[in-house]
Amino acid sequence: LWSTLGTMFTEVLVAIVIGGVIYFLVQKRRSQVLKTKDGWWGVGAPPDGEEDISVRPFKISTSDEELEDLYRRIDQTRPVASLEDSQFHYGFNSQCLQKVVSYWRNDFDWRKQVDKLNQYPHFKTNIEGIDVHYMHIKPQRVPQGSAVIPLIMVHGWPGSFYEFFGIIPLLTEPSDPGDCVFEVVCPSIPGYGFSEAPHKKGFDTVCAARIFIKLMKRLGFQHFYAQGGDWGWQVTTNMAQLEPKMVTGLHLNFASVTMGGLIVTLSIMFGRHFPKPFGFTDLDIQRLYPFMDKLVVESIKESGYMHIQATKPDTAGRGLNDSPVGLAAYILEKFSTATNFDFRNLEDGGLTRKFSLDDLLTNIMIYWTSGCIVSSMRFYKENVGHGLAPPHTKIPVVVPTGFACFPNEVMHMPKLWVQQKYHNLVSYTLMARGGHFAAMEEPQLLAEDIHKFVRTVEKKTKTQ
């Protein structure tokens, strides 16, 4: 009995301390806002005169010359044997890579995929000196009495706008009468895919957020929802920090927090033994402890690419820009491990358990044909290479936020941790399955959670 009472007293005390600290921090941060200045990322100095705000249709294309060059480079690759019994623990297994490359060279139909990519309308417009590519998909049918809700969806690395192809029809043409109907904008982050790369140093997620806000304004939207994972999480978060009155709601399937925060530190120290005061679930305990093994050691194992890209992206990137096989190995290894850490134990990396080779190679071809691998890697240099805690990391997000917690995400975020940054957390959903590339891996689950979140926010907005 005394032991039970002692445990209860401890949990109550910890909860009171946490609540007091949270209240203090919220009050302290409430007045903080993220500010930014216009930039110019084109070549040389900005020209005199008015900015070109025209929107131009864009179509993805290919040619015999492009494919012949690709095949020649694939044919000249020099295979390297993997170690015995190494699976994906040393990186992309060489035997598996040869099978992927053989399919790419002999069976993959890039022209067919180009036609697929062009099934949605593509556009380009010049913002701050660079051409920004985006897809803009409007619903074909809108049920009577339904309002069309604008939604911008932002990808990450090593993904692209193609990550959203499977989820777009679930948002623009929902089958459930109670679901929302969305008008979806999917841009390519500058330096990715068919968006022009910045020509100057310093282009980080805040700059991308500012450009995408300008894009949405240019398209005539005064209010919209935003969704993102990976770098898309940070870009859309910055959008909500820059324009909280424009961003009606923010939906995320990835997030990160400052590990040095007091609440996070306390939860790490005591959460395993006193989970209730911190709201920790069984999944939280399973994914976080033992802490050194689950978060620290695993992070070191799987973040080598980030150290390279945050320091000397141009060096490694140059080799990937010349070798399609090297590019595929570098990118596809992430689609294995980041989908499920257990896939490292498989000879084929589990690649086709969640994705088709056609989809994976289409994403690779977007990087290859646009020649964007170096500029996409530089995004890490601009965001991580100058310190882990830029000013925007200390500013809370006050817009309504929904978080989809996928069980195999590379970095697990308990609800308490998410709330430290997102003070108006409307929904936090423990998803049934899925990992880092949620929109591509589990489009149905992600779409359902977006619908649920937006319905909740819309209902609250109407009753206020």
Residues in the chain, overall count: 464
How many Cβ atoms are within 10 Å of 50's Cβ, its own excluded? 6
Under 8 Å CB-to-CB from 245, ≥6 apart: which residues? none
380 labelled catalytic: yes
Write the burial class of residue 49 (CB in 10 Å: 0-12 exposed, 13-18 middle, 19+ buried): exposed
CA distance 348 to 96: 5
Q: What is the pLDDT along the chain (464 residues), one digit of tens a residue?
A: 544 445 544 554 554 555 554 444 444 445 578 999 999 999 999 988 888 999 999 999 999 999 999 999 999 999 999 999 999 999 999 999 999 999 999 999 999 999 999 999 999 999 999 999 999 999 998 888 788 999 999 999 999 999 999 999 999 998 887 789 999 999 999 999 999 999 999 999 999 999 999 999 999 999 999 999 999 999 999 999 999 999 999 999 999 877 668 899 999 999 999 999 999 999 999 999 988 787 788 888 899 999 999 999 999 999 999 999 999 999 999 999 999 999 999 999 999 999 999 999 999 999 999 999 999 999 999 999 777 678 888 899 999 999 999 999 999 999 999 999 999 999 999 999 999 999 999 999 999 999 999 999 998 877 76
How many Cβ atoms are within 10 Å of 359's Cβ, its own excluded? 19
Nearest to 41 by CA among 153, 184, 207: 207
436 labelled catalytic: yes
C-alpha distances in Å from residue 27, one per residue of 105, 244, 276, 285, 393: 59, 18, 25, 30, 17
How many Cβ atoms are within 10 Å of 206's Cβ, its own excluded? 25
Three-state SS letters, 242-268: HCCCCEEEEEECCCCCCCCCHHHHHHH
Cβ-contact 157, 231 below 8 angstroms: yes
Please give the model's pTM, rounded to 2 decimal places.
Answer: 0.92
Beta strands at 425-430 and 401-405: parallel, antiparallel or unpaired: parallel
DSSP structure string for 259-292: TTSHHHHHHHHHTTT-HHHHT--HHHHHHHSSHI
Coil, strand, or helix at residue 36?
coil
155 labelled catalytic: no
Cβ-contact 254, 181 below 8 angstroms: no
Cβ-contact 83, 90 below 8 angstroms: yes
Which of these is catalytic: 230, 284, 359, 449?
230
Which of these is catalytic: 162, 436, 449, 451?
436
**Sequence spans of domains, the chain:** 63-463
DSSP structure string for 297-338: IHHHHH-HHHHHHTT-HHHHHHHHHH-HHHHHHHHHHHHHHT
Which of these is catalytic: 134, 192, 225, 380?
380
Q: May I ask the CATH architecture of the domain 63-463?
A: 3-Layer(aba) Sandwich (3.40)
